[in-house]
Amino acid sequence: MIELTGVHKSFGAVEVLRGIDLTARAGTVTVILGPSGSGKSTLLRCINHLEKVDRGTVRVDGELIGYRQAGDRLHELSERQILRQRAGIGFVFQNFNLFPHLTALQNVAEAQISALGRYKGVANEKAHELLGLVGLGDRAGAYPRQLSGGQQQRVAIARALALDPKLILFDEPTSALDPELVGEVLDVLHELARAGATMIVVTHEIGFAREAADTVVFMDSGRIVEQGPPHEVLDNPRHERTRAFLSKVL
């Protein structure tokens, strides 16, 4: 489903991604761990067109992200093609990024109308269904400021799901939450995983990684230091850096 090969990305003179190779099959959960500044967000952003890679390729479902292949030459995609690709990839941010002037229902319906051209009635029906799925069926008319952080994040997850994404990227979805609200968001992630969603989750929640991940990836300084099933990476890390990181977060 997802294949990154030799991905490099610099900001000015700083090389933030230094040759990332990563694959994830459909229906699997990949958890990315790593210290702050190691390039985790940049990696997700390169998968969703929020950043453009300098070198290497990103493929989602066989399709090159950001480029069109003609012979062996790579061409840039049009804005329209980029929007289409981006609509197929859900993104959940640390700070929810809901529209403050729209209700929960409108937040979940909006992109369905603007990006997919769904009729308002269809979009609203789907939004109601998804708000029910994340346990917010009774808060459809609430504005973000009337919701707790955990509820806002669940609306953001419903919004990501509304475009029927092939893949959902989560960038520290619980890091901005009060501790007592983390569980309700992780419960939704667990549910999605059980339902077979393809997910890449950047998080420091080791318990979630242990229970839900098919693959745990540890990043440091723009590189993948190690990756494997949770019991290997979390319980038997081979690299000193992974051990040092885990001893801090566990």
Q: For residue 13, what is the DSSP state?
A: T
**Could you tell me the two tokens for 34?**
């790593």
Work out what residue 38 binds among ligand ADP, Mg ion, none; the CB cut-off runs from 5 to 8 Å by kind: ligand ADP
Cβ closest to ligand ADP, residue 11 vs residue 119: 11
β-sheet with 2-11: strand ranges across = 14-24, 2-11, 55-60, 63-64
Choices 30-38, 98-106, 174-182, 186-194 (CB under 6 A): range interacting with ligand ADP: 30-38
Residue 108 CB, nearest approach to ligand ADP (Å): 26
Distance CA 136, CA 115 (A): 24
Distance CA 169, CA 18 (A): 20
Choices 36-44, 127-135, 153-161, 192-200 (CB under 6 A): range interacting with ligand ADP: 36-44
Of 1-40, which residues contact Mg ion (CB under 5 A)?
A: 40
Cβ closest to ligand ADP, residue 57 vs residue 94: 94
Q: Does the footprint of Mg ion cover residue 41 (CB under 5 A)?
A: yes
Residue 95 CB, nearest approach to ligand ADP (Å): 13
Number of residues that bind ligand ADP (CB under 6 A): 10
Work out what residue 85 binds among ligand ADP, Mg ion, none; the CB cut-off runs from 5 to 8 Å by kind: none
- Given phi > 0 = left and psi -120 to 50 = alpha, else beta, which region is 52? beta
Handedness of CA 64, 37, 54, 20 (dihedral sign): negative
User: Residue written as tokens 């190691």?
Assistant: 38
**Could you tell me the two tokens for 108?**
């979940």
Q: Does the footprint of ligand ADP cover residue 182 (CB under 6 A)?
A: no
Choices 20-28, 35-43, 59-67, 174-182 (CB under 6 A): range interacting with ligand ADP: 35-43
Q: Does the footprint of ligand ADP cover residue 11 (CB under 6 A)?
A: yes
Instruction: Please identify which residue in 7, 20, 24, 34 interacts with ligand ADP, judged by CB under 6 A.
Output: 34
CB atoms within 10 A of CB 21: 13
Stated as kind and residue range, the H or E segment containing 183 is helix 179-194
Q: Does the footprint of Mg ion cover residue 42 (CB under 5 A)?
A: no
Instruction: Please identify which residue in 21, 25, 27, 37 interacts with ligand ADP, judged by CB under 6 A.
Output: 37
CB atoms within 10 A of CB 117: 8
> In Å, what is the CA distance from 195 to each residue of 23, 29, 89, 174?
20, 11, 17, 20
Binding footprint of ligand ADP on the chain (CB under 6 A): 11, 16, 34, 36-42
